[in-house]
Structure 1
Amino acid sequence: MAWITCDFFAETLGLSTSIHVFLPQSGLDPSSHSSKLPVLYLLHGRGADHTEWMRNSSIERYAESKGIALVMPGVGRSYYMDMANGLPYFTFLSEELPQLVKSFFPISDRREDTYVAGISMGGYGAFKLAMSYPERFAAGASLSGGLDLASRAAGPAFQESEIRALFGNVDRLKGSRNDLLFLAEKFAAHEGNKPRLYQCCGTEDFLYQDNQTFRQYAENLGIEVTYEEEPGEHEWGYWDYKIQRVLDWLPLP
């Protein structure tokens, strides 16, 4: 695969940013250049950046045989939100970035070829994107995601300064588009095609209960989620193993 660091100016954010992109190499066969590539957006966790997947996993090796492009953006500690007192990262991720990626690289614009996955904070972001825009994504995967954000933000997980930056006030989170349980209700009522959802979490992970809450909520709403759990903590050994399962599970053409 070809590994590309792409630096560009994001109009939505009003600043320069970077993404990492992996593209499968077509070789010398002219027929292999005839179609655009399916794409998996890989989202990083809290406190990390767009280099996280490349540095901590063997994602390049796992994806090489799949014929899929990988796009890894960075959003800081924004929790994939349009921050109350910060930058509009969710608008950047959902609107501007896909258009830029398709203009820069041979990426398909078909829903059937577009997927998103993430770890921890990125698992939250992946489900948020997939459920917010079911018409754009064929699948979304959360690995040890922070899926019950409203409950977590009401506890000691966030400092007051971070709450102000992200939500303005924690009371504004529950029932908003940043609340995955609220989004699940809208997603369940969506009458069109729905993306497939995959969820996993280690049983020793500190976010295990968050995952149980979301899983039960989705089940009560009639949302189909492929769920897996096994012994594991909140760490890259577990995620490196599970991303292989995600790649096999994706409905690739």
Structure 2
Amino acid sequence: MAFLECNFFSDVLGIATTMNVILPEKRQQRIGMKTKLSSGKLPVLYLLHGLSDDHTIWMRRTSIERYAAQYGLAVIMPDVHRSFYTDMKMGYQYWTFISQELPEIAADFFPISTQREKTFVAGLSMGGFGAFKLALNQPERFAAAASLSGVLNLAEHLQTVDSALLKKEFKLIFGSAAEIKDSVNDLYYLIETNLAADVKLPKLYQCCGTEDFLYEDNLKFRDFCFKKEIDLTYQEQSAVHEWSYWDRKIQSVLDWLPI
């Protein structure tokens, strides 16, 4: 495996930004004395960070490079600061960046596939929301998406935030909770809209710790998906909102991906 820190300029953001990238070697596995060579473009996982983290966090807190090696999987880890993967009301256009510009840049720089069946997205907390937001807004691009302890009912979450600073921050990002309803940021609305249009949805994976402050929100989303007969794999276990849990569960995600 190769690990790269890629610094580049984003026309959408109007600033220089960074993504961390893991790339497998062409020679994936050895069979006896022979080496089996991979061919074609690499399957790719876009791996998204949470609210208080950045593009470095998955490499610092998990063994994602070691985990991805056995799958011959490229991993793209972009930086979106505290944007909630959104075109902010007052700030940068991170939704346009993550959904349009970044995939094009990554495909130009690296030998990754752009085929739906080889393209996946996952994330934790804010990144779990971002992963499902990408998959449900662009179901034609992603074969599977995974949320680890994700913020899945965004409008309700914003209304329950106690911190005055976070309330001001969310207002700069979204405007108001009412503006999330029936928008690209409303995961429930996106599912309803796709089902009404008979759109083929990506496979979804969702997990959350039973002591996590987002657990009840995750249960509501799980029950909604099951009611709508969405192809959702759900897992839970005793855990809070912390990295030892996500380090274990990203391994489950990689094993679940239809690679």
| SS across alignment from 1:66 | coil
> 1:125 is matched with which residue?
130
Q: C-alpha offsets along residues 109-154 of structure 1, whole Å, 9 cap, x if unaligned?
A: 1110000000000000000000111000000000000101110101
Whether the 8 Å contact between 2:131 and 2:146 is mirrored in structure 1 is: yes
> 1:145 is matched with which residue?
150
Is 1:69 the counterpart of 2:74? The answer is: yes
Q: Distance in 2 between matches of 1:242 and 1:187?
A: 28
| SS across alignment from 1:213 | helix
Whether the 8 Å contact between 2:161 and 2:167 is mirrored in structure 1 is: no
> 2:239 is matched with which residue?
232
Letter in 2 for 1:20: N
> 1:20 is matched with which residue?
20
Q: Distance in 2 between matches of 1:191 and 1:184?
A: 10
Q: Distance in 1 between matches of 2:120 and 2:55?
A: 17
What value does the CA root-mean-square deviation take over the aligned residues?
1.6
| SS across alignment from 2:151 | coil
Deviation for aligned residue 1:157? 4.8
Whether the 8 Å contact between 1:188 and 1:223 is mirrored in structure 2 is: no
Letter in 2 for 1:17: T
Question: Which ranges of structure 1 fall in alignment gaps of 5 or more residues?
Answer: none
Runs of 4 or more above 3 Å deviation: 27-31
| SS across alignment from 2:204 | strand
Q: Distance in 2 between matches of 1:98 and 1:124?
A: 18
Corresponding residue pairs, total:
252
Letter in 2 for 1:96: E
> 2:7 is matched with which residue?
7
> 2:256 is matched with which residue?
249
- More deviation in 209-218 or 8-17? 209-218
Q: Normalising to structure 1: TM-score of the pair?
A: 0.95
Q: What is the percentage of aligned positions where both structures have the same residue? A: 53
Q: Distance in 2 between matches of 1:156 and 1:20?
A: 31
Whether the 8 Å contact between 1:141 and 1:246 is mirrored in structure 2 is: yes
> 1:174 is matched with which residue?
181
Deviation for aligned residue 1:191? 2.1
Which of 51, 54, 73 pairs up with 2:56? 51
Q: Distance in 1 between matches of 2:161 and 2:222?
A: 23
- More deviation in 210-219 or 100-109? 210-219
- More deviation in 213-222 or 28-37? 28-37
